[in-house]
Amino acid sequence: MRDGSKTQRQSEIERAAYAVLEEKGYAAASMLAIARKAKASNETLYNWYGGKQGLFRTLVERNTAEIRAFLEEQASESRAPLETLAALGPKLLQLLTSPRAIALNKAAASDPTGELGEALGAAGRDTIAPLIGKVLEGARAKGLLAFEETGAATDLYISLLVGDLQIRLVTSAAMRPSEQTLAARATSALTGLTRLLAP
């Protein structure tokens, strides 16, 4: 099997895993169901991922890697810090509320070992928050914002941006808002931040 062929097969399998996960939930997302959906043999799944945990851990890592890559790309573009935030916010909110992200968060919540959650937190917030922090520090350096601790300022922004939206989506207590609503939320989060951290 050619080099690219295997990674392609893997992404097919992982797409199938997402499909089953979003449809049936973590507990009912059996390896067999995923294998059937991907027209793969479960032996292959076990060989490649070790088991259910390993498969979904891979999903978490891939997903957060994608988000981090996107954020780093955005942050590296030379723009005014607040413009960077204005561009970043809506997209980040979309990513965090996407069906995939919600499904992964549900999986982490369902995982009795807490292993998936750790991976999600480590790869997710622990990489996202510092990136946001850098942007905020950039804004402070230009006299656009004033704050003492970067961590607290980052927390504040994330709170304003995300709020309890994720938890309500993960518990199926709410539907995902429209893209416009999300964008509006992002802008009001930014204006709120600038008012609370005004120099």
Partner DNA sequence: TAGCAACCGTACACATGATTACGGTTTTGA
Partner DNA sequence: TCAAAACCGTAATCATGTGTACGGTTGCTA
Contacts with DNA, residue ranges (CB under 7 A): 1-2, 5-6, 9, 28-33, 35, 39-44, 46-48, 51-52
How large is the angle between the packed helices 3-24 and 52-76, nearest 10 degrees? 100
Which residue, 32 or 184, is less far from DNA as judged by CB?
Answer: 32
Q: Which of residues 86-115 bind a second copy (CB under 8 A)?
A: 105-106, 108-112, 114
Rounded CA separation 163/59 (Å): 25
Which of a second copy, DNA, none does residue 22 bind (CB under 5 to 8 Å by kind)?
A: none
Residue 178 burial (10 A CB sphere; 0-12, 13-18, 19+): exposed
Q: Which of residues 158-177 bind a second copy (CB under 8 A)?
A: 158-160, 162-164, 166-168, 170-174
Which residue, 21 or 153, is less far from DNA as judged by CB?
Answer: 21
Which residue, 114 or 199, is less far from a second copy as judged by CB?
Answer: 114
What distances in angstroms separate CA 145 from CA 39, 123, 161, 184, 191, one per listed residue? 54, 28, 17, 21, 11
What distances in angstroms separate CA 164 from CA 97, 136, 170, 174, 198, one per listed residue? 11, 22, 10, 10, 25
- Report the interface residues with a second copy, using CB under 8 A: 24-28, 105-106, 108-112, 114, 116-118, 120-122, 124-125, 155-156, 158-160, 162-164, 166-168, 170-174, 192, 195-196
